[in-house]
Amino acid sequence: MFSRAIVRPPSVNLGSGLTSAAMGKPDIALALHQHALYCAALEQCDLTLTHLPPDADFPDSTFVEDTAIVTPFIAILTRPGAPSRQGEVAALAATLPQFYSSVHSIVAPGTVDGGDICQAGDHFFIGISERTNEAGARQLAAILAEEGYTYVTVDIRGVAGILHLKSGISWLGDGRLVLIDALARHAAFRDYEIVRVDTDESYAANCLRVNDQVILAAGFPQFESAVRALGYPVIALDMSEFRKMDGALTCLSLRF
C-alpha cells in the first residue's frame, strides 16, 4: 500500500525539455490541467500529496520520478543520466528527509534515472539504458541488496522506441507485469503473468497501480479493456501534453 506521493507541476518552459517525440510543443495550460487531474487521481487512490514548486531552471523537473527511488522503507537520490537534469535532485534532497531517517545517493560516475527502475514487490528490475549506466546500476543494486531486496538488470539499449525501462513495463501487483512485445520474452520476466500491450498501444504500457486502482493513459482501448477484464477499477487520464515530452504516468510522481 502507498500512502504518499511527491509531485511537481510543469513549469512554463516544459516545452524546452528533452524529447525524442516529434509531436509538437506542449500546451502549458493544458499540461497544468492534466497535471491537476493526475494529482486528483492520486488523491482518489488515498494518497496524501507533497507538491514541490515548479522550477523553470529545469524544464523536465515535472518528471519527478527520475530523481529518486522510494519505497515505504528506503529512499535513494539518483544522479540522472541527462546532465541538464542532474540539478533537479536538490529539491528531493531537501524534501525526502522529512519522510526517511536516512537517504542514500547514487554518485559519479554512476547515473540512474528513476524511470529505469521498476519495483515488483520485494524484487527490482533495473534497466540499463542511455540514462542509467552500469556503474549506477551496481550502486543501486548494492543499496537494494543491503536492504533485503532482490534485483535483476535488464539491458534496454537495443530496444527501439523506449526511453526508460518503465516506458515498456509496469508492475500491476498480484504477480502480473504489463509488458510491450519487445520485452515480453525477456528471461527476467519469465515467472510472471504477463499482460501484453499491442505495438500500436505501446505508450499505454506505462501505467500505475496505486492501492486498489490502476491509473492508465486514456485513448488505448484494447489495453484498458484488458485491465478492466482483470477486475481492476480504472482511472483513465489524458496524457497528451506530457507524451510530447516523452513523459508518461509514472514519471509524474514518487509514490511511497
Residue nearest to ligand CIR (CB): 115
Task: Report the nearest approach of ligand CIR to the CB of residue 206 (Å).
Answer: 7
State yes or no: is 251 an active-site residue. Answer: yes
What span, in angstroms and rounded, lies between the C-alpha atoms of 10 and 16? 11
How far is C-alpha 30 from the chain's CA centre?
21
The owner of cell 488505448 is 220
CA dist., res. 165 & res. 50, Å (int): 26
Among 68, 34, 49, residue whose Cα is nearest residue 217: 34
Nearer to ligand CIR, 55 or 246 (CB): 246
Q: Nearer Cβ to ligand CIR, position 19 or 95?
A: 19
Residue 101 C-beta: closest distance to ligand CIR, Å: 26
SS3 123: strand
Set 35, 45, 104, 164: catalytic member: 164
Least Å from the CB of residue 229 to ligand CIR? 26
Q: Which is nearer to ligand CIR, 120 or 251 (CB)?
A: 251
**How far, in Å, are 98, 195, 231, 236, 238 from residue 228 at the CA level?**
37, 12, 5, 11, 17
HEC assignment per residue over 85-110: HHHHHHHHHHHHHHCCCCEEECCCCC
**CB of residue 163 to ligand CIR, shortest distance in Å:** 6
Closer residue to ligand CIR (CB): 19 or 139 = 19
Cβ-based nearer residue to ligand CIR, 157 or 212? 157
Report helix, strand or coil for 239.
coil
Least separation in angstroms between residue 194's CB and ligand CIR is 21
3-class DSSP assignment, residue 81 = coil
Cα–Cα distance, 63 to 11 (Å, whole number): 11
**Would you tell me which residues interact with ligand CIR (CB under 6 A)?**
17-19, 60, 63, 65-66, 82, 85, 114-115, 163-164, 166-167, 245-248, 250-251
Q: Which residues are catalytic?
A: 164, 251
